[in-house]
Amino acid sequence: MTTPPGTPRPRSGSDPGNPAGPAPAALSSAPPASVASLSSFTVEQLARITLNSQRSSGSTRILIPPRFGGTTSAGVWTGMGAGNQGLTPKSASCMRDFKTDEVKNFNAMSPIEEKCQKGLLDQAFSMPDESNANLVVTSLIVFEEHMINHSMEGVFHIIRIDGTILNMLQEPGMCTTSVVDLWCVDLLVMGARIKGNPSSQSPLCTYDRTNLMWSGKALLNSCTEALKQDLKLSVMPDDRNGPKLLMALITKIYCPSLLKIESLKGLLKGLSLRSYPAENVTLLSKTPPS
């Protein structure tokens, strides 16, 4: 069929049945941009976004029970608990986390942190050449009470390789630098050993890390200014936790005197069993019966 003169001819690619408009483009098989971007998210990313949105909306957080302590309807507490029974916290200062949003938890924990790090006021540790150097034992007893009342004593109860417990606050003479260093690695990296089952280790506990840091600051605040500066020079900033600072303090204060050791050895060498009636038959026969 011939086209009448003057009729416009259809453009290439246009619909002959609809010369006024172009032919519809073919539908693309690619998914929309929104679908493609959504598929690029992992399940973990989506869960994190959901959790962050819940936190920002004021919902409570999921709290994990501590290694040394317990939980209540209010939150998480550490320490041996009231009456050393592990059922309820000894005081409000034992709380380490609250079942609330992050902002409210931060506001609630600020005064507790301040109390825990305050340290001793009257029975401060001092250098060997200072006036109250002879109050070391008394200061250690008072410091242990401070740790217990503020639920930080757990980081000083060393669980050794054989599963036994060494209380640094009661048996400081039994501690060595290697034992303390290994214990801090367990608390911060490996997980503390379980009492009675040293082949197993508990999961890392965030509250152990908190108590390590707070107890270190409490110990520094329990020292005279001279001893505090000496400990800061002896212990690196990253290692200034309670157990390591206490070990450095013990080494500093209980530095053995060679002269005293030699005098004690001389006294031991001068002892004689013959000086005691129970070991000397002649003296025993002359001793009147009791």
The predicted pLDDT at position 12 comes to: 47
- Residue ranges of the alpha helices (H) in the chain? 33-39, 43-56, 102-116, 136-149, 177-185, 206-220, 225-234, 242-253, 258-270, 281-286
Q: Tens digits of per-residue pLDDT, 77-97?
A: 999 999 888 899 999 999 999
| Cα–Cα nearest to 210, from 183, 232, 188 | 188
Interval 165-190: pLDDT, tens: 999 999 988 899 999 999 999 999 99
pLDDT attached to residue 6: 54
C-alpha 17/C-alpha 44 separation (Å) is 54
pTM: 0.68
Token pair 């819940």: residue: 54
Could you state, in order of their start, the residue ranges of all structural domains in the chain? 69-116, 133-253
Show the CA angle centred on residue 214, arms to residues 106 and 168, nearest 5°. Answer: 150
User: How do residues 201-238 score in pLDDT, each as one tens digit?
Assistant: 999 999 999 999 999 999 999 999 999 999 999 999 99
